[in-house]
Amino acid sequence: MKVYPYFDSHCDTISKMLTNQVGLNSPSLEVNLSALSAYKPTVQVFALYNDGSFYKNDVLSSFQKFKNECKRFSRQIAFKRSCGGIKHNAYMGRATALLAIEALGNQPDFSIDNIIDYHRSGVRIMSLCWNDDNILCGGTNKNLSGLTGLGVEVLKKMKKLKIILDVSHMSDKSFYEALQVYDLPMCATHSSSRSVCNHPRNLTDDQFLKIAARGGMCGINFYPPFLGGNKPGINQVIAHIEHFMALGGEDAIGIGADFDGTDRTACGLENAGLTYKLFDALLSLNYKESTVNKIAFYNFYKFLKNFEF
């Protein structure tokens, strides 16, 4: 089996670990140590999803539990914050864990100063909402509301701290308003193409082009309802990649599979250890190896460099 580099911009594995009380070595996880060992170098963004029950201290303690788990398996994975840390881990032969928060505005006791605490704890990526509207912005369920006044201030604080904005789950109105407030490169960590599959969680062509023009990224989501087709699998994922490629987005496409956060998986892509099959398929379609490696790793790695201090 060919060994590819790997950078996945979104999984919900922390939440699944907490719910099921399992460790990173658990075979019940779609992202686990065995799966990540299939790639070199390896980066996985681990997002903590706030369903509305996590207070500030819960968020910080959850991240600390996860960091402790990384220390338990320090020969295989280590928490890092930077591209330099990723390079060091690759040299040491271990995967890198980056941290993210999903649905920042769902926190019951949210205060804008919490962002500083989360940044200090090592969080590199934040999304404001999940599918529903909250105190920061509108979500894709109603897909009508935009940013709130507090949401605008949060984006300004994120920009100042060079925290990456994840626009996945934001309403269309929130997305376009965020473009005006947050002028750094932004990322849709786990979204696909709305032209290929007409779902509000996917990006329109214009949204993708706006992201790409700013040096941002889109991580292709593997969740079947976002892919379209009957029993979607690798071919449907490729259809989304090829659509964005046709828009000139070769440097703005990566993987954001959404493992451990969905009720079903794409055929042939049931866990992170099988994502190499997608890369194999792209090579079989005469994609250049350099292009495949960019989608697999280097596009997101280059994007992350925009946020280095």
- The closest of 194, 229, 217 to 303, measured between CA atoms, is 217
Q: With cut-offs at 50, 70 and 90, classify the pLDDT of residue 308.
A: confident
Least confident among 106-110, 112-116, 145-149, 304-308: 304-308
State the Cα–Cα distance between residues 242 and 252, nearest whole angstrom. 12
pLDDT of residue 227 exceeding 70: yes
Region 103-113 average pLDDT: 98
- The closest of 116, 126, 131, 90 to 9, measured between CA atoms, is 126
pLDDT of residue 1: 77
Region 19-24 average pLDDT: 98
pLDDT (tens digit per residue) in 163-172: 999 999 999 9
Residue pair 120/94 in contact (Cβ under 8 Å)? The answer is no
pLDDT (tens digit per residue) in 54-88: 999 999 999 999 999 999 999 999 999 999 999 99
pLDDT (tens digit per residue) in 154-196: 999 999 999 999 999 999 999 999 999 999 999 999 999 999 9
Q: Does the bond joining 41 to the residue before it have cis omega, within 30 degrees of 0?
A: yes
Q: With cut-offs at 50, 70 and 90, classify the pLDDT of residue 309.
A: low
pLDDT of residue 141: 97
Q: With cut-offs at 50, 70 and 90, classify the pLDDT of residue 148.
A: very high
Q: With cut-offs at 50, 70 and 90, classify the pLDDT of residue 228.
A: very high
- The closest of 261, 259, 266 to 226, measured between CA atoms, is 266
- pTM for this prediction: 0.97
Region 234-243 average pLDDT: 98
State the Cα–Cα distance between residues 229 and 184, nearest whole angstrom. 35
Residue pair 191/158 in contact (Cβ under 8 Å)? The answer is no
Other Cβ atoms closer than 10 A to 218: 32
Helix (H, G, I), strand (E, B) or coil at 120: helix
